[in-house]
Chains A and B, each alone.
Chain A
Amino acid sequence: MDPKIAVQNVFFTYGDGTEALRNVSLDIAPFQIFVLFGPARAGKTTLLRLFNRLSDLIENTTVQGQVLVSGRDVFERSTDVIDLRRRIGMVFAVPTPLPGTIRENLTYGLRMAGVRSRDELERRVERSLTQAALWDEAKDRLSRPASALSGGQKQRLCIARSLALEPEVLILDNPTSGLDPLSTAMVEESLHDLKQRYTIIMVPHSVQQAARVATRAAFMLDGEIVEVGDADQIFGQPLVKQTEDYVTGRFG
């Protein structure tokens, strides 16, 4: 199968001269959970934000190389960035409900896309909440402020909010960083179901979590991809010494 996302020889530099990505190449096949892991400041977030061009929000950056989503380079001039972002959902490390009710959060992207139909919006609310395993807890309080949810619920709301746009890819950047083990387990479980329908790219909270959820995995270090492989291989018999050290906890 053609890769959903293909990264080809990407270099990325921030305005202050930080070389965050150095010659990164990567293929991500559809309908799987691709885990991108590595120590702090490896460049994971930087790489993820190229996929939906959220990197545009930072000034004075330079990019080289290609990032292909469904075969088309996102940095091409003709790319419709807004459409790209609708096709690629993103969930951030800190659960960030927008101020407003749960329903307003879920329908925000759709409303901004010009969807007006009440029925359509309601239907998407229910579907996305169900997919994010939040429907039962939230169905009676859709008109309440999203800020009243617990941390784990908030993060599942953020997942649901991305899913409401029916994206092709779902990116999760360390989505369980602030969550308790139970909430973490619930998020992981919903991911497991979601990979049937979406291509999921995730930065995990820990190596353990990476091993639990990954179909494939890539180890990043200092802006470079050290090793890519199937989860079993990466977490079982890593080929590169640095990967092995990191996976076995001898890193640093």
Chain B
Amino acid sequence: MANLTEFARERYAQAALRARPASIWLRRGWSETLIELLIRLSGLSTIAIVGLIFLFLVREGLPTFLDIPLRQLFSGRWYPIEGLYGLWPLLVGSLVVTAGAIIIAVPLGLTTAIYLGEIAPPWQREILKPLVEVLAGIPSIVLGFLGWVTLAPIIQGLGAPTGLTALTGSLILAYMALPAIISISEDALYAVPKEYRDGALAIGATQWQTIWRVVLPAARSGLAMAVMLGIGRAIGETMAVMMVTGNAAFVPDLGLDMPLSPVRTMTATIAAEMGEVAQGSLHYSVLFGIGIVLFVVTFTINLIAGRLVGSVVRRRGGQL
């Protein structure tokens, strides 16, 4: 008797499990369908967002390229009060500061990555890696502030008329670009198969020879990518640069003391002047126009970096 009830109950439960309409929509419930739709939409929204960013930059910045003759845009006078919008000094400013930062940061970053990946004992790695992460976490305004109150006086001591120079900016920027350069280079070194190293060491190469002749060449595309992305970081940095580069919109004279002249970058120009312009004015549009230039430049850099090592980009996702 007990068995019979149990049997009946069992059949009933099974029937409950089975008695589901075949339609996918009904079976999985509308909530699940809705959730999956939302998930897909959020994935696709990233494309839309990039598009929208570009769209809004163009919407506000287009008059730059329509209303100002190209010759003026490439001229050497940035003097908005008189209606002179030569982007050349700003381009050169960004270029000088970024180049300086890269010249400092790339050797430092690569060697630090080599140290972390090839030389440092594990206990040091445990301490140093988080430290580099901490550097990545320090807000740019804090570094800019420090540059302003401590580094600038030191630079001035070097004989510059002011401490707020391209060099000051490059130094600060270098440290801001370092974490990205170090972590991507480290990934690139790490991806070199262990057999390469073992093989070189086995035929009697020293550790340094192994690194120099075998590991670095094998990792070169990854290292190139680290450099590209370091450049991307440096070009886009705003606040720290604005605080310490002196913001003089002149093309500095070529020469040995060029690093010691004040410059003004594209980013700093936007940040410093947007607050004072009338919305809809030509000056306002030009600031957006500079934004377009920055967008296109960083987009291109990322594209090239992505081409360099598609797999590394994919592995690291958007976090470069």
Chain A residues within CB distance 8 Å of chain B: 78, 80, 82-83, 86, 113, 115, 120, 123-124, 165-166
Chain B residues near A82 (CB, 8 Å)? Answer: 27-28
Q: List 16 A-B contacts (CB under 8 A).
A: A78-B22, A80-B20, A80-B24, A82-B27, A82-B28, A83-B18, A83-B20, A83-B27, A86-B17, A113-B17, A115-B13, A123-B9, A124-B13, A166-B10, A166-B14, A166-B17
Verify B18–A120 contact, CB threshold 8 A.
Answer: no
Verify B22–A80 contact, CB threshold 8 A.
Answer: yes
B16 at the binding interface (Cβ < 8 Å): yes
Give the shortest distance, in Å, between A18 (CB) and chain B (any CB): 22
Size of chain B's interface in residues, with CB distance under 8 A?
12
Q: CB within 8 A of B13: which of A78, A80, A120?
A: A120
Give the shortest distance, in Å, between B5 (CB) and chain A (any CB): 12
Q: CB within 8 A of A115: which of B16, B20, B22?
A: B16
Verify A115–B27 contact, CB threshold 8 A.
Answer: no
Residue of B nearest to A79 (CB): B22
- Of residues 1 through 41 on chain B, the ones whose CB sits less than 8 Å from some CB of chain A are 9-10, 13-14, 16-18, 20, 22, 24, 27-28
Residue of B nearest to A124 (CB): B13
A100 to B293, CA, bound (A): 53
Chain B residues within CB distance 8 Å of chain A: 9-10, 13-14, 16-18, 20, 22, 24, 27-28
A86 to B19, CA, bound (A): 12
Residue of B nearest to A165 (CB): B17
A113 to B13, CA, bound (A): 11
Give the shortest distance, in Å, between B13 (CB) and chain A (any CB): 6
The 7 closest A-B CB pairs, nearest first, are A80-B22, A166-B14, A113-B17, A78-B22, A120-B13, A83-B20, A86-B17
Chain A residues near B28 (CB, 8 Å)? Answer: 82
Give the shortest distance, in Å, between B15 (CB) and chain A (any CB): 11
Chain A residues near B20 (CB, 8 Å)? Answer: 80, 83
Give the shortest distance, in Å, between A239 (CB) and chain B (any CB): 41
Given contacts A78-B22, A83-B27, A115-B17, 16 further A-B contacts (CB under 8 A): A80-B20, A80-B22, A80-B24, A80-B27, A82-B27, A82-B28, A83-B20, A115-B13, A115-B16, A120-B13, A123-B9, A124-B13, A165-B17, A166-B10, A166-B14, A166-B17
Chain B residues near A83 (CB, 8 Å)? Answer: 18, 20, 27
Chain B residues near A80 (CB, 8 Å)? Answer: 20, 22, 24, 27
Residue of A nearest to B10 (CB): A166
Chain A residues near B9 (CB, 8 Å)? Answer: 123
Chain B residues near A124 (CB, 8 Å)? Answer: 13
Give the shortest distance, in Å, between B21 (CB) and chain A (any CB): 9
A123 to B20, CA, bound (A): 22
A165 to B20, CA, bound (A): 15
Chain B residues near A165 (CB, 8 Å)? Answer: 17
Residue of B nearest to A87 (CB): B18
A113 to B19, CA, bound (A): 11
Chain A residues near B10 (CB, 8 Å)? Answer: 166
Give the shortest distance, in Å, between A73 (CB) and chain B (any CB): 14
Chain A residues near B24 (CB, 8 Å)? Answer: 80
Residue of A nearest to B13 (CB): A120
Chain B residues near A78 (CB, 8 Å)? Answer: 22
Chain A residues near B22 (CB, 8 Å)? Answer: 78, 80
A115 to B12, CA, bound (A): 12
Residue of A nearest to B16 (CB): A115
A217 to B11, CA, bound (A): 31
Give the shortest distance, in Å, between B28 (CB) and chain A (any CB): 8
Give the shortest distance, in Å, between A117 (CB) and chain B (any CB): 9
